Amino acid sequence: MSAKDDLSDSIVSLMRMNRELYDRFAEEIIQSKPDLFIALGDNTQSGSAEDMRMLRSFLKRLDDQGIAVIMAAGNHDFDQGSEQAYRSMFFDLLKPDECDEASLSFSRTFRQYRFISMDDHEGKYRPGGLLKKETIDWLEQQLVSAAERIEKVIFLCHHPLHPESWMGRPEFYLLQPEGIREMLAAHGVKLVFNGHLHDPRIIHSGLYEITLPILAGGAHMYGTLRLEDNTAVYRLRQLVFDDPLTAAKAAKKDRAVLEKRREAWLKTLSEKCDENTAEKCADALIRWQIAYNKGALFRRRDEFFNDPDFTKAMELLKDDIFGRWIRSQYDSGHCPCDALTIRL
């Protein structure tokens, strides 16, 4: 979320439509009347005072409607901001039950569920995620306390726990130090949410880790979670603009981003094959990208792997970062990410 209207929208298509986007998102949330709204970091573009005030206004609008708010901090939220400013700006809305004195981590309990929201940012302009030793100790105390009270834990953080094969330097992407995933599993945690990679994915390795997509880019998806006695049902939904002019403006920006992605793929492919083959492969990759944005890769897996243009593109890009990234989405452990039902 950003209060500025002059940011680049060459990668994240609706960066210059933030006000329209989040006004519509707030309307849709309020109409659906959830008990709880969860945000998972990089909730502002920079952590500037203007961005923070805009985010607070959005969250206050939900709070005023009786929708509880839980928010994890992300690295972008501190590029220009501070921990003290973040706490004073938001904690009256977050209403934590218990707080970690060493960080902005906190927990909040709803019925039989304890949500543990972690602060894993390292500092200004640093992309990686790192938990302090004191914060890890606090987390373990929370896990023990939840077990004693027979509460099911839902773990919220910004940086993911699972490495993927495309990550040349995992420390830029993953929650550090190592061992947090094993700690959670040892305490029976089944469900983890994060936001740092900003694209929809679900990885299962004894616990389910769900990465939420970025609302301002991709297909403008967000997740919904229904918690029953022993079951969690997660689904992706697409934000729909109800104003035709706004919808048309957003669609134009989305097409422009896809075309830039196609140009990048075409440039790489053209170095490896003839022009006609490169064009067909680039078109196949765009079809793949659209499915990826909507969390539909596994539903359409056979379609892509039976598409000669897609498989040719994969062959041509096998030693390229694009190819490694695409193949990683079919690594062992990845699950369908548009819908999931699990026993807690």
pLDDT in tens, 299-335: 999 999 999 999 999 999 998 888 999 999 988 789 8
Cβ 266 vs Cβ 282: under 8 Å: yes
| pTM: predicted TM-score of the whole model, two decimal places | 0.95
Residue ranges of the chain with per-residue pLDDT less than 70: none
Question: How big is the chain by its Cα radius of gyration, in Å?
Answer: 20
**Model pLDDT for residues 219-253, shown as the tens digit of each residue:** 999 999 999 888 999 999 999 999 999 999 999 99
What is the pLDDT at residue 81?
84
Under DSSP, the state recorded for 121 is B
Q: How far apart are CA 47 and CA 85, in angstroms?
A: 9
Q: How far apart are CA 216 and CA 9, in angstroms?
A: 9
Q: How far apart are CA 132 and CA 174, in angstroms?
A: 14
Q: How far apart are CA 328 and CA 150, in angstroms?
A: 37
Q: Which amino acid is at 317?
A: L
* DSSP bridge partners of 339: 235
Residue/partner pairs of 308-316 with CB below 8 Å, 24 or more apart: 309/280, 309/281, 309/283, 309/284, 310/281, 310/284, 310/285, 312/273, 312/277, 312/280, 312/281, 312/284, 313/265, 313/269, 313/281, 313/282, 313/284, 313/285, 316/269, 316/272, 316/273, 316/281
Q: Which amino acid is at 94?
A: L
